[in-house]
Structure 1
Amino acid sequence: MKCLIKLGGAAITAKSENSFKLETETIANALANIRDALRQRSDTQIIVVCGVGPFGHTNVVRHNLRHGVKTPEQMAGLKETLAACRSVAQHVIDAASALGVSAVLVSGELIAKQAHGAITHFDTLPFENALAANKIPVIYGTMVPDSVLGHSVMSGDESIAQLAKWWRPDLILLGSNVDGIYTKDPVAHPDSAELIPRIDGSNLAHVLDNSLSGSSAAVDVTGGMKGKIEKLVDTVGDASAIVFRLDSCSNRLFDGLVRGHIGGSTFIQMTHTSEGQDANMSDSV
């Protein structure tokens, strides 16, 4: 089985607080789930994509990098932002190593190019080499060279889209700080938001039409929830996807990898149809 895993920035960083802090216990638990799953299913191949939360988003805003990198001040800010984003993925690599999981860092700024913020080149060779060596490649949201803007943001979601197009995974697991996709934003409406257990071609249009941008004060320069959902539409294809809560103590990621099912989550399968309903996702993936 081939599985793409997103460690969402809202789950592994203090994104809701716009704080440069890692949720180290959540990261460690995710890697432990991966280790245990690989022991159960040794035929599984995994690519990990890290959201970087404020390490990327807040730095981009702080240093005025959203619309390009031209001035000496912006160049200095770019350097700081690249290092901050990389530090998130490096912590994941180190946590994997501590648990005996072999992982290797793939730097987006070295393998990707953009023009006006749109991907023009994405080199998959580092992923091929890592997988061939039985290692887990880890990429992360960052800024990459841009032929027009100097540098521009390449989100973790964009990496997932590019990797899904090339690799055609069987399963995409999207770890978040909430249980999945809801009828309302669960942060703004915790008492009335209802989890939607399944989304397919019959109701995904409603998700796009009615999605909220989220009530969180967290800075997000990659399009907010509507942008993430739109990217999800382009990404899933024939694969199955699960949006689930990633935390410091559960075995949900293990269940997804071993059983292909996570209780109390949202399962997405675009090749099937079912009864639909209006939906919203929280500001979380």
Structure 2
Amino acid sequence: MTTPLLDVSELRVSYPGQGFRARPHEVLHGVSLSVRAGETLGLVGESGSGKTTIGRAVLGLVEPSGGRIMFQDRDITRVPAKVRRSLARDIQVVFQDPYTSLNPSLTIGDILSEPLVVQGASAGDARSRVRELLDQVGLPADTAARLPREFSGGQRQRVAIARALAPRPRLIVCDEPVSALDLSTQTRVLDLFVDIQRRTGVAYLFVSHDLAVIRHVSHRVAVLYRGDVVETGPADRVTASPEHPYTRDLLLAAPVADPARQRERREERRRLAALKSSDTKASRS
């Protein structure tokens, strides 16, 4: 069996408690998952489930309190800042908000070429790579001379994707990358992610609260609930016929275009909520 590109084992993350002598609050309780080369693993769960914290731990933005993160057979759980910077060649990120993730005072060309020059590329090579990146994400060549404020949200997110692709990474952490976009733009950007993966072989750790988004881009899915993985499996199965009650609830919460099906989903959610309520009362009595 092929060794995973990313292997997260028994990951725990705690944040300081609020108040004097407050105990730390553990948000991940021993999460294990893996991502193979060229694969998309979708992490799905509601707000506060811990999915974004996993991505931040992989990126080195939070320090794990336990467990291990392996990347290309190398332990990156806790590494010095210099080593973490060198990992940026292989691990990149696309953030949620395209409006705040780009420096408003730099042109798009400077935004895309800056990380390349820092990593040792000549100015000529950087310009050539910028043209290649803009073409890759479907933006015209004159984009390089313009400022971020001149573009729509979807176009800015394309620039953010191009920036992540600049050093030719092996893995991109995608943290809710389409949640700030309207539905039609979401679809175009998701299709872009899929097309880029097909052409480059990059792997994605794709974080979202929306099962429909996860189904669109993922090969496999891990469902998180309150810091624990409650279900994993192929995307087609987990997003269509989930086994865990929490995943079924997420599926019923996802909007659909058919009003009749949407009404049925609302009624099923009410029925399940009533069952949960009666079970809770029975356990207390």
TM-score after normalising by structure 2:
0.31
Greater Rg by CA:
2
Give the structure with the larger helix fraction. 2
